[in-house]
Amino acid sequence: RKEVEQDPGPFNVPEGATVAFNCTYSNSASQSFFWYRQDCRKEPKLLMSVYSSGNEDGRFTAQLNRASQYISLLIRDSKLSDSATYLCVVNILWSNTGKLIFGQGTTLQVKP
């Protein structure tokens, strides 16, 4: 089983749509959770951390379900500029180096 699993997509949505991405992780000792954004051939950039209580940053809402080992990202009112690959990322508790485990990413294409 993959350590971090995502639906690769692509998700093709019109501007203004709401879109949700899901992610599952296999290691129950995972400590920290993140969503990164990656544009084509560019470096990953932190979008937001994910907390157990759920957290929101503008149009973006992240949720974590530790019992199900499941993370989600909701994007409301999609913009053309949201087109990118969204990476689900976890930090394993026993890795005290801060090593991040990346999912393969979900590609979002927002169309006019």
Residues that bind other proteins (CB under 8 A): 32, 34, 38, 41-46, 49, 87, 91, 95-105
| Smallest separation (angstroms) from other proteins to the CB of 80 | 23
**DSSP 8-state class, residue 62:** E
Q: Which residue number, 28 or 96, has a Cβ lying nearer to other proteins?
A: 96
Percent of the chain as helix, strand, coil, to the nearest 5: 5, 55, 40
Q: How far is the CB of 77 from other proteins (least distance, A)?
A: 26
Residues in the chain: 112
Nearer to other proteins, 78 or 90 (CB): 90
Nearer to other proteins, 38 or 72 (CB): 38
Tell me which DSSP letter residue 63 carries: E
User: Whole-number minimum distance, CB 109 to other proteins, in Å?
Assistant: 16
| Burial letters 27-47, b for 16+ CB under 10 A, else e | beebeebbbbbbeeeeebeeb
